[in-house]
Amino acid sequence: MNTLTCQTPPTLVPIVKVRQVRWPAQASELESIREQVFIKEQNVPPHLEWDGLEQDSQHFIAYHNGTPVGTARLVKHHKLTRMAVLKNYRNQGVGAALLKSVCRSALHAGMDELIADAQLDALGFYLQHNFKVTGTSFYDAGILHKPISKALNSTP
């Protein structure tokens, strides 16, 4: 029997439940969080935020006391995208809970690595969770990013 592991540092997590959800069933919750974080807060143009990959991706929502407060998306080819936590819930373990769920899902799907493009402001978060920088900085939607990756472990 194999034990799947996705190690992340321990964090203090508020009462957060992460659910893997489907698009379009939970589209309104996913859209609401992403619009607040990416479009309103970070000024990402809507045509860049809605890239057409929704139907073919796995989606995750973090709920705090039943309220959706964070989201992440796992697209084909092991890429973590659209990780967002509402401003009032940041630095409280919501992102860590989302990342753990995405990692677990990726392991169960047979992936051995996650890749992502981290906004520079969030790079420290990903480094704390064992991601490594894999390339040089670049701009996406006017925001500086670095490509990152994380090896996923499957141990007997």
Q: HEC profile for the chain?
A: CCEEECCCCCCCCCCEEEEEECCCCCHHHHHHHHHHHHHHHCCCCHHHHCCCCCCCCEEEEEEECCEEEEEEEEECCCEEEEEEECHHHCCCCHHHHHHHHHHHHHHHCCCCEEEEEEEHHHHHHHHHCCCEECCCCEEECCEEEEEEEEECEEEC
Residue 21 and residue 67 in contact, taking contact as beta carbons nearer than 8 Å: no
Mean pLDDT of the chain: 90
Structure confidence at residue 39 (pLDDT)? 96
What is the total count of domains within the chain?
1
pTM score, whole prediction: 0.86
User: Within a domain: residue 62?
Assistant: yes
The predicted pLDDT at position 7 comes to 53
In a domain, 130, yes or no: no
Residue 144 lies in a domain: no
Q: 83 is in which domain, residue-wise? A: 3-113
Distance (Å, rounded) from C-alpha 120 to C-alpha 138?
A: 10
pLDDT band at 69 (very low <50, low <70, confident <90, very high): very high
Residue (of 88, 31, 37, 45) closest to 64 by Cα position: 88
45 within some domain: yes
Dump pLDDT digits (tens) for 113-136. Answer: 999 999 999 999 999 999 999 999
pLDDT bin (cut points 50, 70, 90) of residue 1 is: very low
Check whether 46 has a pLDDT greater than 70: yes
pLDDT band at 3 (very low <50, low <70, confident <90, very high): very low
Provide CB contacts within 8 A for 112, sequence distance 6+: 151, 152, 154
Residue 150 forms part of a structural domain:
no
pLDDT band at 2 (very low <50, low <70, confident <90, very high): very low
Residues with Cβ within 8 Å of 39's Cβ and at least 6 positions away in sequence, in order, are: 45, 46, 49
Note whether residue 125 is domain-resident: no
- Beta-bridge partner residues of 94: none
Which band of pLDDT confidence, cut at 50, 70 and 90, is reported for residue 14? Answer: low
Q: Does residue 155 fall inside a structural domain?
A: no
Is the pLDDT at 50 greater than 60, yes or no? yes
101 in a domain, yes or no?
yes
- CATH code where residue 36 lies: 3.40.630.30
pLDDT of residue 153: 80
**Quick one: pLDDT at residue 141?**
94
Any idea what the Cα angle at residue 147 is, between residues 142 and 150, rounded to 5°?
A: 145
